[in-house]
Amino acid sequence: MTVIIIICLAVILYFALRPVIINEARNRLRRTPFPEEWKRILDKRFPLYQKLPAELRNQLESDIQIFIAEKKFFGCGGLEITDEIKVTVAAQACMLILNRKKRYFPRLMSIYIYPSTYVAKRKRHIGGGLVSEEVDVNLGESWTDGRVVLAWDASKQGAMNMFDGHNVVFHEFAHQLDQEDGAGDGVPKLSEYSKYSTWISVLGKEFELLKRSNKHRTVIDKYGATNGAEFFATATEAFFEKPDQLKKKHAELYEELRNYFCVDPSQWI
């Protein structure tokens, strides 16, 4: 009985001290100089890095260090994980948390990287006890069980091209933000309860407009018309990569995203 009590107390103590331990580890990383080799990777692979104000650039460097220390990267399909891959992916992911409360995608544990487009098999229940198997060709996926899956060639291309409105890392990590409350529905956790009504109103209206749009080219990728979760993810891509166009044509949406992400990309690009 005494042993059980000791174990229970140890577990309680661990969970009580865990936030303190994590914060201290993160503070140590923030005090650690950013590796010069990683800076060279960002200069080569992520042009947006140099366009950021100095304060945000310093923030991003610290966030990258913490992200890489806390998340596990796994190569798939024969891909060997290198610093270039980790830094390039981490930089894009951490763009979404600049100036925000540093939660570092708390549900996320592992990032699986394929060399290029990969095939995923899924089982779908179609009723009557029948199950169909479908094959999807993917560039990325985000799961609520702590996984993100990415194609490296698409992730690399997204980092290099800042103006096409397509970025698979922004897209999948927007899903991670959306899924923090356990539901991928296009409504992420907001800083205040009072903000939800405006968020739902503005994004809901813009989602309906995108669904009804007959234009071949829109600021937000038409894939965003699939559902609320995909709308938030594609709107995030447009916010960071086409800020001037989004601000001009969808001012309310831009303002809502600016308030959420706590940055204004139109000032950088």
pTM of this prediction? Answer: 0.88
CA distance 67 to 91: 9
Residue 112 has pLDDT above 90, yes or no: yes
Looking at the chain, the whole-number percentage of residues with pLDDT higher than 70 is: 87
| Whole-number pLDDT of residue 3 | 52
Q: Which of 89-93, 142-146, 251-255 shows the lowest mean pLDDT across its residues?
A: 142-146
pLDDT tens digit string along 164-206? 999 999 999 999 999 999 889 999 999 999 999 999 999 999 9
Residue pair 39/75 in contact (Cβ under 8 Å)? The answer is no
Angular region, 70: left φ>0, alpha ψ -120 to 50, beta rest: alpha
pLDDT at 216 over 60: yes
Structural element, H or E, at residue 85: helix 83-95
Burial of 33 (0-12, 13-18, 19+ CB in 10 A): exposed
Dihedral angle sign, alpha carbons of residues 250, 253, 255, 258:
negative
Number of Cα atoms under 13 Å in the Cβ half of residue 227: 8
Q: Is the pLDDT of residue 223 over 80?
A: yes
Q: pLDDT at position 13, please?
A: 44
- For 185-269, CATH number? 3.40.390.10
Amino acid at 81: I
Domain with CATH 3.40.390.10 in the chain: 185-269
pLDDT reported for residue 104: 95
pLDDT in tens, 238-251: 999 999 999 999 99
Measured distance CA(138)–CA(131) in Å, rounded: 21
Mean pLDDT along residues 212-236: 94
Whether pLDDT at 124 is above 80: no
Nearest to 59, CA basis, from 21, 20, 104: 104
* Confidence band for 217, pLDDT divided at 50, 70 and 90: confident
Name which of 214, 168, 169, 205 is nearest 186 in CA terms. 205
What is the pLDDT confidence band of residue 10, given thresholds at 50, 70 and 90? very low
Domain with CATH 1.10.472.150 in the chain: 9-160
pLDDT in tens, 24-81: 999 999 999 999 999 999 999 999 999 999 999 999 999 999 999 999 999 999 999 9
Q: 9-160: what fold?
A: Cyclin A; domain 1 (1.10.472)
pLDDT value for 61: 98
pLDDT, mean over the chain: 90
Cα 245 from chain centroid? 22
Residue 11 pLDDT > 50: no
Cβ atoms of residues 33 and 78 within 8 Å: no
